[in-house]
Amino acid sequence: MEWRQSWRPWLRLFVTAAVVAVITQEGCVCGEDVTYDGRSLIIKGERRILFSGSIHYPRSTPEMWGSLIGKAKEGGLDVIQTYVFWNLHEPQPGQYNFSGRYDLVKFIKEIQAQGLYACLRIGPFIESEWTYGGFPFWLHDVPDIVYRSDNEPFKFYMQNFTTKIVNMMKSEGLYASQGGPIILSQIENEYQNIEAAFHEKGPAYVRWAAKMAVELQTGAPWVMCKQTDAPDPVINTCNGMRCGQTFGGPNSPNKPSLWTENWTSFYQVYGGEPYIRSAEDIAFHVALFIARNGSYVNYYMYHGGTNFGRTSSAYVITSYYDEAPLDEYGLLRQPKWGHLKALHAAIKSCSTTLLQGMSTNFSLGQLQEAYVFREETEGRCAAFLINNDERNNATVQFQNASHELMPKSISILPDCEKVIFNTATVNTNYTKRIIRTTEIFDSMDRWQGYTDVIPNYENTSLHSDTLLEHMNVTKDVSDYLWYTLRFQHNISCAEPILVAESQGHATHAFVNNIYIGNAHGSHDTKQFIMQSPVVLSNEINNISLLGVMVGLPDSGAFLERRFSGLTRVEIQCSKNEFYNFTNYAWGYQVGLFGEKLQIYREENIHMVEWSKANTSLNQPLTWYKTFFDAPIGNDPVALNLSSMGKGEAWINGQSIGRYWVSFLTSKREPSQIMYHVPRSFFKTSENLLVLLEEAGGNPLHISLNTISLSTLPKPIHYYHLLQ
């Protein structure tokens, strides 16, 4: 109670006025007030209904930013929302990187240049299907640290990074109070999902985080998403697909109703199918949220982009939210983009009435209702007519007129008379993705290969008498950790079977340098067991097990305690006879030899001996390289890796991400075969393509493709036929 009372001056600051202005060299006052009341954010003294879209700067390239933001603006957006990615910007304590794809200032300035606002979700925990939830892994080694809790070591580093970002934005004049585009910031991220796990330290951490953020004095509001106990003046917001139905509302009548994540699709994992969310469904729930006094809607994602390199979290594919209004390549996803554009225009046509008028809600039928906004002084009126029946048309009477409502639809009447938009009526043509093959890498003479080194115990320098946890050893510098042991075969075992149990993501096994097999888990399976018959020597035997992580976990309480890697290794001779090596003399090596030498870079390819690739052997842990010319034109480019197994791909030393084509869905299809190569990654000619293939794959069927769109006629929905 004492803490809340101490914040009342801050509440007045945000609810009434917070005028911070900057006088430029030309003598112009360029500051904007960003405040709020119980209806909306207030910018330049005016209430605003705002449509926003998430575009994450490191999931595209600086060369793409202008086009993406321009298409978002053309689609009727007012705001671009982005997370800030701590692990990219501070890879080691006090060492910062804001260059290239990580140039946050340049990204925000591009938003400003196109006349849009920005919402900066600093976090610094972000989840976002991003490895380790955006945390740099060095946090794991800070003594006595407990993430996202009332824990002094964690709070020290969280405050340090948050302050770093805020001060960087201030120094560039990027807050709206300085004349910049940033009108909103976020601290923490969906913390209430895990808050109870920390008992009394959870609420204490929430109060500390809010206080810390507001004291940075950005001159703009802060939000906490999915956080019903967000302390004043921080605004609690909604995330999800149906916030018009699920959001309990802000925790104070003085706060507006904001929707920070409206999921336009959903992330996809290896072995999983894509989630398709229709334009009609998105439009319905946006209109419903606005009808129920919502005033800010952010599409997560508006452009998903690409998880380049090793940035995706556990089992998440390289392509991110490809079904968003702008697809992975930045092309319009129709009819989603066009339908939402029309929705935005319809709502903005009556935004003054929505923001200033009195709202009433009443029934029009068993499953039908109306939300009506009236400005008494001006005489203006706007209405949302809703049919919640998902199967049947409905005829309703409203203001002495009859209106036919399609199933599960909302009609918008900006003057309470004429329908100018219906969420179920799509007037935008559909588009189809056209893939044109420009080159097939089918000549054996073009490919060279290098098989990586299989280490044995004597090659390792890190030793332990037990199985070590994977992430704590690799420190996230590699997906790979070798577990090696040697033993004298003096046991009687007619048909030995190697058993390896793991809480990692995949395991490859070698016995005496011979590959004997692999196994893997899945996004929903936290452990798996590999069982492979082996042939043992009568003398010394070497077992080399390669543990693999496909991204680090990104969510959950006590992330710093998470365990991954091998948990049990044994040789089974029969059901009742086995030899356990779990507590044994193990040797460890982090990463692959070619990975350490960075042989995917042109300046380093001479550091190993390459030979003519022999694809018929399906040799595991093989590197392949070839050179090629860039496709002519400006269309986006993708590699088709459908003939490969599992690994990673680089173009001119830049990773385009992990691939796992051999992990099939329930429909026996790969989750992803096309891998985006940004045009900026190319040279005109002699581009170096390097693949690391873990277990098989045939590069002779890889192709280079350009991506474009063709327009299709609008489909006829069954409910159109009912009219």
Catalytic residue numbers read 190, 261
Which two tokens mark 389? 């029946």
Query: How far, in Å, CA of 422 to CA of 596, rounded?
Result: 57
Do 65 and 82 meet the contact criterion of CB atoms below 8 Å apart? no
Angle of helix 152-171 relative to helix 104-113, nearest 10 degrees, comes to 40
Handedness of CA 164, 168, 170, 174 (dihedral sign): negative
Annotate 157-177 with b (16+ C-beta within 10 A) or e (fewer). bbbebbebbbebbbebbbbbb
Query: How far, in Å, CA of 171 to CA of 177, rounded?
Result: 13
Beta bridge partners of 624: 449, 691
Query: How far, in Å, CA of 571 to CA of 537, rounded?
Result: 13
Do 396 and 365 meet the contact criterion of CB atoms below 8 Å apart? yes
Name the strand (E) or helix (H) holding 689. strand 687-695
- Preceding omega of 124 cis (within 30 degrees of 0): yes
- Preceding omega of 301 cis (within 30 degrees of 0): yes
Q: Which residues contact 299 (CB under 8 A, 6 or more apart)?
A: 51, 52, 53, 54, 77, 262, 264, 282, 324, 325, 340
- How many CA atoms does the CB half-sphere of 567 hold within 13 Å? 11
Handedness of CA 598, 600, 602, 605 (dihedral sign): positive
Torsion of CA 117, 306, 313, 264, to 10 degrees: 60
| DSSP for 445-479, written as a single string | GG-EEEEPP---GGG-SEEESSPPPHHHHHTTS-S
- Preceding omega of 699 cis (within 30 degrees of 0): no
Tell me the Cα Rg of the chain.
Answer: 28
Which two tokens mark 551? 């991204």
Beta bridge partners of 98: none
Which two tokens mark 74? 């053309």
Annotate 54-79 with b (16+ C-beta within 10 A) or e (fewer). bbbbbbbbbebbeebbebbbebbbbb
Query: How far, in Å, CA of 534 to CA of 513, rounded?
Result: 12
* Cα–Cα distance list, 507 to 9, 36, 498, 568 (Å): 57, 53, 12, 12
* Cα–Cα distance list, 226 to 150, 157, 207, 223, 253 (Å): 19, 23, 15, 10, 17
Query: How far, in Å, CA of 697 to CA of 226, rounded?
Result: 44
Give strand ranges (E) for 130-205: 182-187
Burial tier of 553 (Cβ tally within 10 Å: 0-12, 13-18, 19+): middle
3-state helix, strand, coil in the chain (%, to 5): 25, 35, 45
Beta bridge partners of 711: 431
- Preceding omega of 335 cis (within 30 degrees of 0): yes
